[in-house]
Amino acid sequence: MERKNPVFTAFVYICALLLAAVILAPLAWLFVMSISPAADLAAKPLRWWPQAADFSRYVQLLSRAENSAGAAFTASLRNSLEVAGMATLAAVVLAVPAGWAVSRTPSVGWSLSMVIATYMLPPVALSVPLYMGLSWLGLLNNVFGLALIYLTILAPFTTWLMKSGFDSIPREIEAAAMIDGAGLFQTWRIITLPLAAPVVATSALFAVLLAWDEFFYALLFTSDQRAKTLTVAIADLAGGRVSDYGLIATAGVLAALPPVLIGLVMQRALISGLTSGGVKG
């Protein structure tokens, strides 16, 4: 076998190191920038490692003093959590019945295909009426309004994942419960949902990641601390008007932490979720 060939083994290790470097270098640099004094970041030649680590920017961004830059940042952090949380919860609640329906009654499946096809629509194609509609409802610059829109981004994905999950639960188990006199919702509660728990968790995580990442709608539909999300707050910082690159990097690190931690901890579930969508295509 080739694997025993030492030249090939060396080649594999070199490639692996290269790949690790490609993945890690930009991320490591983001972190280093966040703890480097401003002078180091403007030095020529560039100083790759700070003389003294400086964590003051983290304190600055996480402070809650009224009308400070930290208050603005923590408000956007809170908004992101609220919007992502609400949208995810609603997306899962909608996805369970819908996913089950399509799984058990494939004849209605075409409607799910339509729902998923909305993914193709560029957000700009909906933005003007949505803007006017939200304005009419008084939901502009409002976390509920934003969550409602995010729901339509997340729900197609969660429903699709839930459907794949339900597909792998044999109908016979449910049928047995029903024969024993359990109603539909009781059957779900006792049999189906416990069996589908991992899929529910996976789709919820996906939903959180998607909502956390959204930028375009948040840029248009939020304007201040009452609803502005992290992505918009960071884009504001990076808009060329903050001269302390370390502060921008710090905001980036803080915004990236939740999804990156979810990604690392839930790796296996996420990959299986990705591929169940992918392989079954």
Partner 1 sequence: MSGTWMTTRAWLLMLPLLVIMVAVIGWPLVDTVRLSFTDAQLVGTAGNYVGFDNYTKMLTSSNFTRTLSTTTWFAVVSVAAEMVLGVLAALLLNQEFRGRAVLRGLMILPWALPTVVNATLWRLIYNPEYGALNAALTQLHLIDDYRSWLGEPGTALAALIVADCWKNFPLVALIALAALQAVPRDITAAALVDGAGPFNRFRFVMLPYLAGPLMVALVLRTIEAFKVFDIIWVMTRGGPANSTRSLSILVYQEAFSFQRAGSGASLALIVTLLVTVLAVAYATLVRKTAGSAT
Partner 2 sequence: MLKSIGKTLMGAVFVGGLFVPHAFAETTLNALFMAQAAYSEADVRSMTEAFTKANPDIKVNLEFVPYEGLHDKTVLAQGSGGGYDVVLFDVIWPAEYATNKVLVDVSSKITDDMKKGVLPGAWTTVQYDGKYYGMPWILDTKYLFYNKEILEKAGIKAPPKTWEELGQQAKIIQEKGLLKTPIAWSWSQAEAAVCDYTTLVSAYGGDFLKDGKPDFQNGGGLSALKYMVDSYKSGLTNPNSKEFLEEDVRKVFENGDAAFALNWTYMYNMANDPKDSKVAGKVGVVPAPGVAGTSEVSAVNGSMGLGITAVSKHPDEAWKYIEFMTSQATQNQYAKLSLPIWASSYDDPAVTKGQEELIAAAKLGLAAMYPRPTTPKYQQLSTALQQAIQESLLGQTTPEDALKTAAENSGL
* Residues at the site binding partner 2, with contacts judged by CB under 8 A: 38, 42, 44, 67-69, 72, 131-132, 134-142, 144-145, 148, 220-221, 223-226, 236, 239-243
**Which C-beta is closer to partner 2: that of 191 or that of 220?**
220
Decide which of partner 2, partner 1, none touches 139; Cβ closer than 5 to 8 Å per partner kind: partner 2
Nearest distance from C-beta of residue 137 to partner 2, angstroms: 5
Decide which of partner 1, partner 2, none touches 223; Cβ closer than 5 to 8 Å per partner kind: partner 2
Decide which of partner 2, partner 1, none touches 144; Cβ closer than 5 to 8 Å per partner kind: partner 2
Among candidate residues 192, 207, 212, the one with its CA nearest the CA of residue 259: 212
Alpha carbons 269 and 203: distance in angstroms, whole number: 9
Instruction: Find how far residue 280's CA is from the centre of its chain.
Output: 22
In degrees rounded to 5, what are phi and psi of residue 77?
A: -60, -45
3-state helix, strand, coil in the chain (%, to 5): 80, 0, 20
**Which C-beta is closer to partner 1: that of 70 or that of 102?**
102
Alpha carbons 103 and 169: distance in angstroms, whole number: 10
Nearest distance from C-beta of residue 271 to partner 1, angstroms: 6
Long-range contacts of 49-55 (CB under 8 A, 24+ apart): 54/246
Decide which of partner 1, partner 2, none touches 16; Cβ closer than 5 to 8 Å per partner kind: partner 1
Nearest distance from C-beta of residue 173 to partner 1, angstroms: 16
Decide which of partner 1, partner 2, none touches 52; Cβ closer than 5 to 8 Å per partner kind: none
Judge whether 87 and 211 are in contact, CB under 8 Å.
yes
Judge whether 62 and 78 are in contact, CB under 8 Å.
no
Nearest distance from C-beta of residue 241 to partner 2, angstroms: 4
**Which C-beta is closer to partner 1: that of 29 or that of 55?**
29
